[in-house]
Amino acid sequence: MWHLMKPTVTKEQVPLLFHEPHVLSGFRHLNQPWSYYFLSLFQVHNECLNSWTHLIALILIIKKMFTFSMEVDLITDPYMWPLTSGILSIIILYLCSSLAHCLQSRSELAHYTCFMFDYAGIGLYGTGSIVLHYNYCMLPTYKLGALREWAITIGIGLGVVVCMCCSISKIRYKRPYPFVRKVWQLGSVGGIYAWLILPIAHRVFLFVISSQWDQGLPHHMEQMVWFLVAGFFFGSDIPQRFFPGKFDFVGHSHQLFHI
């Protein structure tokens, strides 16, 4: 099977659709057997780490799920169902993203199809996070607590919006993509994030105004910081913007966004 592998090529040798901003080399060949793209997980190219970052995360979250299953009943205990659904949404996100980056180079159809699955995974992950936060993280003093019964319904709607906005912007705009495309993406993801983070923001607000501390706050605040950092790298194309071709294989912004 290894004889199927071919040296990577420069961006001039692949269609415009497959170009990435300020990435000049490390592109895989088009129209190869599916085995070529799966085996490319073990080849150095500009999408390799984008697949492996989420494959490693997938392995870690499955391991974590089994750890939880030894401590609590994830299947028959209703109190654990939000945790189970949240973990499953994370698994689906990582799987969709890893496969998208692994397989998208085969053809134009594969490219669009893979990333639409990726966008669906993002929307589902956002919904899973809403399930977790509104079931486990919402304080009794949260004034929007009455919306709890609608939280998941609203979350599903916002998840669909994420998938639609990202998919439409993918089809509507051609490379080099204008900045407005990222507005479509970041705006829709930001919308679902704003909804899922409200119970956490309430807890942070109580700490700021009245020093109401709880043990979960450091984890939540760290998560919020990482979300902002990830959004920065996703939207900025830094560092490769300033050093075109220097971060083709390791260190470009989408890899940092994944991490």
Binding-site entries for Zn(2+): 101, 254, 258
Beta carbons of 58 and 94 less than 8 angstroms apart = yes
Beta carbons of 187 and 201 less than 8 angstroms apart = no
**Identity (one letter) of the amino acid at 137?**
C
Backbone φ/ψ region at 54: left (φ over 0), alpha (ψ -120 to 50), beta: alpha
Annotated binding site: 101, 254, 258
Angle (CA) 162-233-169 rounded to 5° is: 35
